[in-house]
Structure 1
Amino acid sequence: MQFVLPQSLADWLPFAAALVTVLYGLWVLIAPGMAFQTIGERDRRYHARSLASARGDIGGFHLGVGLMVLAMYDQPFLQLALGAGWLIAAFGRLVSLAADRSFAFENAVRLLVSLALAGLSLAPPLGYLPV
């Protein structure tokens, strides 16, 4: 199997979203403590269970899905899966903003980033860009 870089905008958008997803997954997999501190968990003691959960459930999942989309960026079902994941993540953050009253600048930025990554992944397979 030969790896070829994307040629069109419709290929580059999901590829870029997958690249960000991979980098995020690597960051949480390699440095979950730093990732926790970035989201505001500065005063919390990190137990091995919470670090293992972050590495596996957050870092590993994002890394695995992102790598598959990078490897097969022109597959619409993979683009839809990545986009749906980011869209549901944005929905979860929106629910948290409303239900938990957790509105902060950082949460609003993360909501916008999740929506942007969802849009990058979903636009080509849903027909918003010419293939």
Structure 2
Amino acid sequence: MEFSFPWPMSQGEWLAWSSAAVTVALGLILFLAPGLAFRALRLQPHPDKPEAIAEGRSRIAGFYLGLGLCAILLAQPLLYMALGFSWLFTAFGRILGMMTDGANTPYNWVAILVDLVLAAFPLAFAFGFLP
């Protein structure tokens, strides 16, 4: 079996691929520099709990890298759909946190917009709205 890199061929696929590339980039930052990524995300692990950094490096970065790389390397519409729904649920979780946890800040409003854009690109391609 020969493996070849599936290069995006249409505008919709490029947008979905871009969302996957951003996901991989975020995963790499969390994987290689979790302290820097936590500061950018406005998270502060407790100094007595080093496992908090390990969680960011493993669970968060692992999912971002795994799903993003699979979407890029395999370029299947269902993987792009999974990527889009993951970002959509990220936005939903942020909205829920803003409503119930008192996290209604300008940072979260900007983050919701980013999450929704990263969800819209692969979902629009997977559902055929973008050729």
TM-score, length-scaled by structure 1: 0.92
5+ residue gaps, structure 1, are none
Question: Is the contact between residue 83 and residue 119 of structure 2 (CA under 8 Å) also seen in structure 1?
Answer: yes
The residue number in structure 2 matching 1:82 is 83
- CA distance in structure 1 between the partners assigned to 2:66 and 2:47 by the alignment: 28
Q: 4+ residue stretches of structure 1 with deviation over 4 A?
A: none
The residue number in structure 1 matching 2:72 is 70
Residues 47-90 of structure 1: CA deviation (Å, up to 9, x unaligned): 321011111110111011100011022x1110110001000000
Aligned residue among 8, 25, 31 for 2:33: 31
- CA distance in structure 2 between the partners assigned to 1:66 and 1:6 by the alignment: 14
Aligned CA-pair RMSD: 1.5
Following superposition, the deviation at residue 43 of structure 1 comes to 8.0
Question: Is the contact between residue 33 and residue 46 of structure 1 (CA under 8 Å) also seen in structure 2?
Answer: no
The residue number in structure 1 matching 2:51 is 49
The residue number in structure 2 matching 1:92 is 93
Q: Which amino acid aligns with 1:86?
A: W
- CA distance in structure 1 between the partners assigned to 2:55 and 2:127 by the alignment: 33
Question: Is the contact between residue 84 and residue 122 of structure 2 (CA under 8 Å) also seen in structure 1?
Answer: yes
Q: Which amino acid aligns with 2:66?
A: G
State how many pairs are aligned. 129
The residue number in structure 2 matching 1:12 is 14
Q: Which amino acid aligns with 1:80?
A: M
- CA distance in structure 1 between the partners assigned to 2:44 and 2:13 by the alignment: 39
Structure 1 residues 43 and 3: CA distance shift in structure 2, 3 A = closer
TM-score, length-scaled by structure 2: 0.92
5+ residue gaps, structure 2, are none
Q: Which amino acid aligns with 2:93?
A: G
